[in-house]
Amino acid sequence: MEFAVPEELQTLSARIGTFVRDDIIPHEHDPRWTSHGPTDDLREELNGKAKTAGLFPFHVSKGYGGLGLSHFGKAIAFEAAGYSMLGPIALHCAAPDEGNIRLLEEVANPEQKKRFLEPLAKGETRSCFCMTEPAPGAGSDPGQLQTTAEPDGNGFILNGKKWLISGAEGAAFAIIMARTGNGEGEATLFLTELPNPAFKIEQVIDTLDSSFTGGHASVSNEGLRVSGDAVLGEVGRKGFRYAQVRLAPARLTHCMRWLGSAIRAHDIATGHARSRTAFGKPLGAHEGVSFMLADNEMDIHMARLAIWHTAWLLDKGDRASAQSSMAKVFCSEAIDRVADRSLQILGGPGITRDTIVERIYRESRAFRVYDGPSEVHRWALGRRVLEGRMQ
């Protein structure tokens, strides 16, 4: 494996870094970054800045105006974008759109690509992915899927509740997972344009995090009619597999973006450890603080290596299911530790909104739950170990 980062990716990373520092970080106190995420107004303004900087949309296929980055290329670029939580929003490489673009590229038919993927990839629309349901429905266990899709003429009628759906409010379309049979695993993905009165947003939920445009909504599908050409891929049995097409790389891109935020928290803590004094010397000269900085560096380094290795496997065409699970668990927990230590090093100011560390600490916590809670990945990995399927 080649660890040297190609020059063009170093240049891209530096350009994104400068853009995020100069054009995006000054917006972090913008009141349009609400508790339900950045407003569309703020997002569009930041997208405009990214266009001016020649970085929009940079990560998508060349056919849609991007650079067609490999997974490894994304690892380098998304880390730089994540230095501000608004960076991925500005650069249109945030969840859930980034994962949906990938899913549509792999599974959509030509007509669906033209109608849904093209405007999404070009950053003209937003989208959402609707899998999770309130109890007793689908969560960690997608097999508990309750939403039904009943055949009706040449289409289907969908009924059921979804919740924690990022970006549903304001999305131009939804990808909805519904049960198309009673057998185990009979799930189908459907595309539907929004708004639609039968896709009812009941509430944008108040949550710990606030970095997703549109927040997270509960949605009620009440007799939502979709035509036969709304089926993404094939009917039945493949819905869960398609979801995996989306989820394995999508959980890795979350790791990349959050790594950038962890580095930001660490940089702020390092600056504070150099300048603030206590007991006659800089904080960083106290071993207890320097050890925290060293632990931050180790977590950041190991997280980056886990991301790079998984990205390298994905680029070779490997599904990298086990590696992406390991990377997701390790990165989400390492990033949490870095945010926690950084806040601790800041002392009182760490608790205030004077720095972004407080927000990174809060926001990164949710990553240990979405795209598979740590325990579910550990459980799945444990099964692989026992069955000798780790290689």
Q: State which of residues 216, 238, 304, 328 lies at the interface with ligand FAD (CB under 6 A).
A: 216
Q: How far is the CB of 362 from ligand FAD (least distance, A)?
A: 11
Q: Tokens for 379, please give them.
A: 């459980």
Contact pick of 152, 373, 381, 384 for ligand FAD (by CB under 6 A): 373
Binding mask 85-114 for ligand FAD (x = CB under 6 A): -----------x------------------
Cβ atoms of 259 and 82 closer than 8 Å: yes
Q: Does 375 bind ligand FAD (CB under 6 A)?
A: yes
CA 252/CA 339 separation, integer angstroms: 19
What is the DSSP secondary-structure string of 221-250? EEEEEEEGGGEES-SSS-HHHHHHHHHHHH
Q: Which is nearer to ligand FAD, 72 or 361 (CB)?
A: 361
* Cβ count near 74 (within 10 Å): 26
Q: Residue 129 or residue 173: which is nearer to ligand FAD going by CB?
A: 129
Which residue number, 272 or 377, has a Cβ lying nearer to ligand FAD? 377
Determine the interface stretch with ligand FAD among 33-41, 63-71, 75-83, 159-167 (rule: CB under 6 A): 159-167
User: What is the helix (H) or strand (E) element at residue 179, kind and residue range?
Assistant: strand 173-179
Helix pair 287-315, 239-275: axis angle to 10 deg: 150
Note whether 364 binds ligand FAD by CB under 6 A: no
- How far is 378 from 302, CA to CA, in rounded Å? 18
Q: How far is CA 374 from the centre of its chain?
A: 16
What count of residues does the chain have?
Answer: 391
User: Would you say 19 or 212 has its CB closer to ligand FAD?
Assistant: 212
Q: How far is CA 41 from CA 31, 46, 69, 118, in A?
A: 11, 9, 28, 21
With contacts defined by CB under 6 A, name the span among 126-134, 185-193, 219-227, 340-348 that binds ligand FAD: 126-134
* Closer to ligand FAD by Cβ: residue 73 or 142: 142
Listing DSSP states for 117-162 in one string gives IHHHHTTS--EEEE---STTSSSS-GGG---EEEEETTEEEEEEEE
What is the size of the binding site for ligand FAD (CB under 6 A)?
19
Distance from C-alpha of 50 to C-alpha of 42, rounded to nearest angstrom: 12
Stretch that binds ligand FAD, among 68-76, 100-108, 158-166, 224-232 (CB under 6 A): 158-166
Piece of the chain touching ligand FAD by CB under 6 A; list 76-84, 151-159, 298-306, 371-379:
371-379
3-state secondary structure 52-92: HCCCCCCCCCHHHCCCCCCHHHHHHHHHHHCCCCCHHHHCC
- What is the footprint of ligand FAD within residues 131-150 (CB under 6 A)? 131-132, 139-140
Cβ-based nearer residue to ligand FAD, 205 or 278: 205
Q: Which of 166, 192, 261, 323 binds ligand FAD (CB under 6 A)?
A: 166
Does 130 participate in binding ligand FAD (rule CB under 6 A)? Answer: yes
Residue 370 interacts with ligand FAD (CB under 6 A)?
yes
Closer residue to ligand FAD, CB minimum distance, 53 or 107: 107
Q: What are phi and psi of 93, to 5 degrees?
A: -120, 30
Binding ligand FAD (rule: CB under 6 A), the pick from 91, 165, 269, 338 is: 165
Out of 23, 186, 209, 340, point to the residue binding ligand FAD (CB under 6 A).
209
The reply to whether 190 sits near ligand FAD by the rule CB under 6 A is no
Residue from 5, 198, 369, 381 touching ligand FAD (CB under 6 A): that is: 369
Distance of alpha carbon 30 from alpha carbon 360, whole angstroms: 16
Query: Which residues contact ligand FAD by CB under 6 A?
Result: 96, 129-132, 139-140, 164-166, 209, 216, 366, 369-370, 373, 375-376, 379
